[in-house]
Amino acid sequence: MRDSINQIIDSLLGPLAGLIRSLQEWLSPILPEATWAAYLAFALYVLIILGGGFMAILARNLVRAMLGLVLAFLGVAGMYLLLNSPFLAFMQLLIYVGAICVLIFFAIMLTRNTAEGEEARFPSLPAIGYGLLAFIAPLLVCGPIIALHSGQIDVHVPLPSDTGVLGQGLLSAYVIPFELISIILLVAMAGAVYLGFRGFAPRKKGQSQ
C-alpha cells in the first residue's frame, strides 16, 4: 500500500523535480556560485549585526534599543547558520530572543520610565572613553592572537556536526566549563534576589499590607 502511494507521489513529483533541475542547469551560467552566495550572506549578516548594534546604542528610547539588540542577535544566529551549525543558530534565537530579550522587556516595564526616554541624554566624555575602551579591548586581546597564529586557523566551513556529538562533548570533555557557566548564572540570580530584597523590612505578623 505504502509503496504504491510512494510510486504515485514519485510519478507526480518526478517531472516537476526534473523540470526544476533542468532549469537550474540552464540557469547555471547566470546563477552565482555557492561561495559568492556565502560571501553575500556574510555581508548581509554583518550589516544586520552592525545596524542592530548601532540602533541599540543610539536609540533614544529603551524599547527601540531592545529592537536593535534583537536584530543583532538575529544576525549572529545567521552567522551560526553560515558556520554550518543550525542547532547553535536555533539555540541563539531560543535563548537570546525568546528569553533574554523578553526578560529585558520585563525589566523595562517594571522600572518607571516614559515613552520619550528621559534618560537618553548625551553621555559624558569619560563615559564615551570607557565605551571606546570596551570596544577596543576584544581587538587588543584577539588581534595579536589571530595575527600570531594566522597560519593555524582553519578558515574552511566546518562539517555539519551531529547534535548528539555536541551533547556528549558538553558532558564529557568540556564538563567543567559547562558547569562553570551555570555557576555564573546562579551567582547572577542570587545577586538579583539579594538586590531585590535588600530594601524590604520583614513584615510583622497581623499587619495588613
Partner 1 sequence: MDLSLVTFAQILVAVLAIIGLMVANAVVMVYVERKAAGFIQRRPGPYEVGPWGTIQAICDSMKLLAKQIFVPANVDWVLFFLAPVLAFFPVLLLFLPIPFGPYLTGLAVPDGIVLILAFAGFGVLSNLFAGWASNNKYGLLGAARAVSQSVAYEIPLILALLAIIFQTGSLSLTEIVEAQGSYPWQWNILVQPLAFFIYLVSLVGETNRAPFDLPEAESELTAGFHTEYSGMGFALFFLSEYANMLLVSFVCATFFLGGYKGPFLDGIWWTFIKAYLIMFFIVWIRWTFPRVRFDQLLNINWKWLLPLGLINLWITAIIVKLLP
Which positions from 100 through 159 interact with partner 1, judged by CB under 8 A? 101-103, 105-106, 109, 115
Per-residue x/- track, 87-106, partner 1 (CB under 8 A)? x-xxxxxx--xxx-xxx-xx
| Shortest reach from residue 63's CB to partner 1, in Å | 6
* Phi/psi at 160 (5° precision): -60, 130
- The DSSP annotation for 34-92 comes to HHHHHHHHHHHHHHHHHHHHHHHHH-SSHHHHHHHHHHHHHHHHHHHHHTT-HHHHHHH
Which positions from 162 through 201 interact with partner 1, judged by CB under 8 A? 163-164
Report the chain's C-alpha Rg in angstroms. 25
Query: What does the chain come to in residues?
Result: 209
| Shortest reach from residue 32's CB to partner 1, in Å | 11
Cell numbers at 181, concatenated: 557557566
Which positions from 11 through 70 interact with partner 1, judged by CB under 8 A? 17, 20-21, 23-24, 27, 34, 37, 61, 63-64, 67, 70
Cell numbers at 143, concatenated: 588581534
Q: Nearer to partner 1 by C-beta: 7 or 127? A: 7
| Shortest reach from residue 71's CB to partner 1, in Å | 11
Sign of CA dihedral 103, 105, 108, 111: negative
Those residues whose C-beta lies under 8 Å from the C-beta of residue 200, and which sit 6 or more positions away, are none
Q: Nearer to partner 1 by C-beta: 49 or 66? A: 66
Binding site for partner 1 (CB under 8 A): 1-2, 5-6, 9, 17, 20-21, 23-24, 27, 34, 37, 61, 63-64, 67, 70, 84, 86-87, 89-94, 97-99, 101-103, 105-106, 109, 115, 160, 163-164
